[in-house]
Chain A
């Protein structure tokens, strides 16, 4: 049964107030905004029950207000205030029932600075509150090629209603809703979303709603809020929290930045490694000195001020160590530094496997402040041997030290730092998406068990 299509206004049968009829032929209940009586719209508007238990809330939209959504004109025909209580906290929000003579019924909700557009959705897909509660990991469902991940479960009831509805709102009925969210790598711009239909919008949410024996699936998307506010002539509340359905961030040159970053990493690291491998000029040819002949002084020439000079030491022992004191004086006989370096090498066999530690090598690298002749003093410090308590090869003393020096060396440091910068550039689009996804999912009630 449905009410007469040409009906434009009625009087409330409880209080006599004039009520506009805006909602089309499928409306079955009309709640009088003046006295709160629910009227049976299909049986002569007889009074069913007194409905409202709370005062009328402040609302963003009023019944009769109309505007365009996805190019379709909708009119607000009813509003519901819903409440959820959990863990000592209470949440209240308002859903607006809207109607288009050509596209039927839908809902609008204002949440965290966004306008959410919800329509009933034909789908065989279903996720119960029980399966969400008992799952060990976050559940997901596939629907029309899209993957939706579990977002939240809510149990709400209507505490205020006015206007026309295609179902019977009851304050004593609790509706259980499980919401799942679909996100994508890159979002549409608001302009693109404006030209797309609700089914094309990303992100989107499916809500599996159960009230008594009735089951419904709803599909929700965020609207272009600026176009909405202009069309409906309302102002939008601001919010600094991100709604899960807020438009996804766009990185228009995302793929370009990834490729540029990766190419930069390869190029920088490659040049860095090849420059690090350049050995420079041999300014002190390799000399082997017996430990017994130390201390010794070595002289070498540095051609240019600021040249990077490397002094390499190599011992000849095994399962032994030795430390040396090195002093460098500049062409004016000024002491530039006194530093200690050690060489060590240990090896053996344990548990059927060979092992070794140290490489008998040590190095000093410094920038020569001026060009000219430098003198390096090599002094013995301490030395010792290590005997493997589990047996094995006999230790061999560090009896000799080989020394040589190069100047005019390059360093890959700057290029490796640049490679790191390029890596960050390549990671930027993906990182931005992951951060955004994390912020979006922050409102989810899912908690991973550790």
Chain B
């Protein structure tokens, strides 16, 4: 097996491992309208706290 093939297999394994880790956090699963709204609300909240 060539170095290229070993490298590609390792790369594929790392990619699948990383994607599985990310998938377990639920990344990409939220409704986009709710994500935007929560982000805006959280930013507003943070701003209010810093003003206080």
Contacts and interface: CB of A to CB of B under 8 A. Distances in A.
A334 B8 contact: no
Given A366-B30, A409-B29, A413-B27, A275 B37 contact: no
Interface stretch (A13-21, A138-146, A415-423): A415-423
Nearest to A275: B23
Interface string B26-41: 1111110111011001
B26 A339 contact: no
Interface of A (DSSP majority class): mixed
Interface string A308-336: 10000000000000000000001010111
A257 B9 CA distance: 10
A415 B18 CA distance: 9
Contacts of A409: 26, 29
Interface in A336-369: 336-339, 364-367, 369
A256 B4 CA distance: 10
A253 B4 contact: yes
A412 B23 contact: yes
Size category of the binding interface on chain B? 20 to 34
B12 A366 contact: no
A108 B23 CA distance: 61
A299 to B, nearest CB: 18
B2 to A, nearest CB: 7
B25 A366 contact: no
A376 to B, nearest CB: 12
Contact of A413 (B4, B23, B31, B35): B23
Given A275-B20, A411-B29, A413-B29, A260 B12 contact: yes
Interface of A: 253, 256-257, 260, 263-264, 267-268, 271-272, 275, 306-308, 330, 332, 334-339, 364-367, 369, 408-415, 417-418, 421-422
| Complex A-B, nearest 10 residue pairs according to Cβ-Cβ distance, in ascending order | A413-B28, A308-B26, A411-B29, A337-B37, A366-B34, A414-B22, A414-B19, A418-B19, A411-B26, A336-B41
Given A253-B2, A268-B19, A271-B19, 5 more contacts: A253-B5, A256-B5, A330-B41, A336-B38, A367-B26
29 contacts: A253-B8, A256-B8, A264-B16, A271-B16, A271-B20, A275-B24, A306-B25, A306-B26, A307-B26, A308-B26, A308-B30, A332-B45, A336-B41, A338-B37, A339-B33, A364-B31, A365-B31, A365-B34, A366-B35, A367-B38, A410-B26, A411-B26, A411-B27, A412-B23, A414-B19, A415-B19, A417-B28, A418-B15, A418-B19
